[in-house]
Structure 1
């Protein structure tokens, strides 16, 4: 997949996931937020809690899930920690880390607390 096609495919997947969270009452705070560890695809808020979401798109959910590496999770945690540092309750802010997978048909599968924290 060319860089441009991959970029636009990622944006479309993020749009699909953002719509899914919005339907469930989450407010989008940030999109492609960049911290010291790298980019966090989507950050939502609901009832004062923050949800950091990594979005992956592939032909099927299993392939999308396999694209999240331990190193990437570490980078997400590093950036999220920086994001939380400017929140009123800092690191004590209620948080969750989700993975959202989009398959070739545009269906979404969300795994809440996907990174074991």
Structure 2
């Protein structure tokens, strides 16, 4: 007997958007290290390895922000200083738990998604902020 999906509509939509973003990043040559990497006080939507960019084997912490439309600034505008601090703390915990990546170059990207959750329009902001910006 199959169990009913207990996720909320918001979580279902978020999972669909994250899956679309993951597929997009993988098509760009990135490799997933972790999804929904949780640490006390924060969670990183996607942790990717970018070995095609300017930084060899960079660990990329990706925050996915979805809005049905880009009115009111869209998803990227919602990554405020408090959210950036939580992401940085979660990234530090991730690197402590995965010492094989501790010395790799790191960056924080934000992907703003809008429209249809199954096939959203994406705006990729690479190196959107730095750990020493907050």
Structure-1-length-normalised TM-score: 0.88
Q: Is the 8 A contact 2:35 2:45 kept in 1?
A: yes
Corresponding residue number in structure 1 for 2:10:
6
Instruction: Give how far 1:89 is off.
Output: 5.2
Partner of 2:125: 111
Higher-Rg structure is 2
What's the CA shift string for 1:60-85, capped at 9, x where partnerless? 28321222221111000001011112
Between the aligned partners of 1:103 and 1:88, the Cα distance in structure 2 is 35
Q: Distance in 1 between matches of 2:38 and 2:130?
A: 22
Structure 1: unaligned runs, 5 residues or longer? none
Structure 2: give runs of 5+ residues left out of the alignment.
1-6, 52-56
- Aligned length in residues: 114
Contact 1:16 1:108 in 2 (8 A): no
Which residue does the alignment assign to 1:88?
100
Q: CA deviation at 1:37?
A: 3.2
What does residue 113 of structure 2 align with? 102
Does residue 74 (structure 1) correspond to residue 85 (structure 2)? The answer is yes
**SS in structure 2 of the partner of residue 93 of structure 1:** coil
Q: Secondary structure at the match of 1:42?
A: strand
Q: Which structure 2 residues correspond to residues 11-22 of structure 1 after superposition, within 5 A? A: 11-22=15-26
Which residue of the partner structure matches residue 70 of structure 2?
Answer: 60
Moved over 4 A (4+): none
The 3 A distance-change label for structure 1 pair 89 and 11 is: closer
Whether the 8 Å CA contact 1:52–1:97 is kept in 2: the answer is: yes
The answer as to whether partners of 2:107 and 2:130 remain within 8 angstroms in 1 is: no
